[in-house]
């Protein structure tokens, strides 16, 4: 199998050749003569004389042996693994670096809270439970795709011949594009089964299309050039209090905001999001109502968003006491002098 990716500049390509597996790893340096011969051998027979291969200049030639390995656990005692230490796989889909970054971010904010004495040590148990299933899924998907693309025999040749046409046609379907985009961007990853993903009593009353605890918090435009995700920046939890057009709920949330700021300080940033722009300036104004609609919050809702952008708690506007209990379980405020 031969892949050639054009790069800026004349006659400038990144070329990848996939060769049959051998019993032993080939540690020999890859010579220019061998590389050219391999490229020629990978070309279709009918085009070999038509497209002579000439290597004008090489910047880097190397052999890379594919591996498929996954750690059985991402934590043992005080030791944690992430990135390539946790999962090594085919580069199909370009997911390796992204997955490693998400591993590190998922673990990083939890380690910081526990190390500072601001969260119980049990928070660290959620790292393996959240990230290992992601790594296992990645290994399965990349393996299957690579097997289809690089398989030997008549079936492999047929797949390679038809795949470009099939992929182009499939990408014309909106649901296929959306599914591929969610996989490649990794915005489709969910932690709904995690013990630190909590649903309030009133969460079931929210719209069925609203994100749930454990989902990635959707980004929505609040006003021109002003996005909801801008509120999530920084190593803290963000509490979104959707008040809709209810004056009573707005006043209740304002009191709650002051209470949480006094108790949790920099650990939690409460933000009131309202629909009524005429009300005295409190929180953020959802001018077009897109954020309330996306979060199913027209009648009021509460969302606690983790530092890595995932929803830790979801509830209706009436789930104030459930939220208070969740925050007490999640954070240790005595250790930081807030009580």
Q: Specify the pLDDT at position 339.
A: 42
Q: Is the same domain home to 160 and 255? A: no
Residues 12 and 98 in one domain: no
Neighbours of 302 (CB within 10 A): 28
Token digits for 262? 């006094």
**What's residue 336's pLDDT?**
44
Tell me phi and psi for residue 91, to 5 degrees: -75, 10
pLDDT at 299: 93
Q: Clarify whether residues 235 and 276 are in a common domain.
A: yes
User: Strand 13-17 to strand 2-6: parallel, antiparallel, or no bridges (unpaired)?
Assistant: antiparallel
- Which of 298, 293, 274 shows the shortest CA–CA distance to 285? 274
Cβ neighbourhood burial of 57 (10 Å; 0-12, 13-18, 19+): exposed
Q: What is the pLDDT of residue 146?
A: 72
Residue 54 located in a structural domain: no
Q: Please report the pLDDT score of residue 337 as a whole number.
A: 43
CB 309, CB 229: distance < 8 Å = yes
Spans of the chain below 50 pLDDT: 335-339
The answer to whether residues 157 and 267 belong to one domain is no
191, 310 in Cβ contact below 8 A?
Answer: yes
- The per-type count for the chain, helices as H runs and strands as E runs, is 8, 14
CATH number, domain at 134? 3.50.50.60
* Domains: count for the chain: 3
Look up the CATH number of the domain holding residue 209.
3.40.30.120
Model pLDDT, residue 268: 97
Looking at residue 105, its pLDDT comes to 95
Please report whether residue 179 resides in a domain: yes
Which residues form the domain of 78? Answer: 69-185
Token duo for residue 218: 């959707």
Four-residue CA torsion sign, 153, 155, 160, 162? positive
Query: Which tens digits make up the pLDDT trace of 95-134?
Result: 788 899 999 999 999 999 999 999 999 999 999 999 999 9
Q: Are residues 217 and 326 in the same domain?
A: yes
């Amino acid at each position: 199998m031969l892949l050639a990716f054009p790069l800026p500049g004349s006659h400038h390509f990144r070329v990848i050749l996939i060769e049959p597996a051998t019993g032993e790893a080939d540690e020999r340096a890859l010579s220019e003569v061998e590389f050219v011969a391999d490229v020629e051998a990978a070309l279709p027979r009918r085009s070999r004389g038509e497209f002579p291969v000439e290597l004008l200049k090489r910047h880097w030639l190397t052999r890379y042996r594919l591996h498929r390995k996954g750690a059985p656990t991402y934590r043992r005692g005080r030791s944690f693994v992430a990135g390539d230490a946790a999962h090594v796989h085919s580069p199909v889909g370009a997911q390796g670096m992204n997955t490693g970054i998400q591993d590190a971010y998922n673990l990083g904010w939890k380690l910081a809270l526990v190390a500072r004495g601001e969260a119980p040590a049990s928070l660290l148990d959620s790292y393996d439970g959240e990230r290992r299933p992601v790594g296992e899924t990645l290994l399965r998907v990349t393996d299957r795709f690579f097997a289809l693309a690089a398989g030997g025999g008549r079936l492999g040749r047929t797949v390679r011949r038809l795949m470009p046409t099939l992929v182009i046609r499939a990408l014309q379907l909106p649901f296929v594009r959306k599914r591929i985009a969610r996989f490649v961007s990794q915005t489709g990853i969910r932690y709904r089964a995690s013990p630190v993903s909590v649903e309030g009593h009133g969460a079931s009353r929210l719209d069925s299309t609203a994100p749930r605890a454990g989902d990635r918090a959707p980004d929505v435009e609040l006003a021109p050039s002003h996005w909801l995700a801008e509120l999530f920046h920084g190593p803290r939890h963000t509490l979104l209090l959707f008040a809709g057009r209810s004056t009573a709920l707005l006043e209740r949330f304002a009191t709650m905001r002051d209470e949480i700021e006094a108790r949790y300080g920099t650990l939690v940033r409460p933000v009131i999001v309202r629909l009524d722009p005429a009300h005295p300036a409190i929180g953020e104004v959802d001018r077009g109502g897109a954020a309330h609609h996306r979060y199913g919050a027209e009648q009021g809702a509460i969302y606690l968003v983790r530092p890595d952008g995932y929803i830790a708690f979801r509830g209706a506007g009436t789930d104030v006491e459930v939220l208070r209990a969740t925050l007490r379980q999640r954070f240790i405020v005595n250790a930081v002098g807030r009580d």
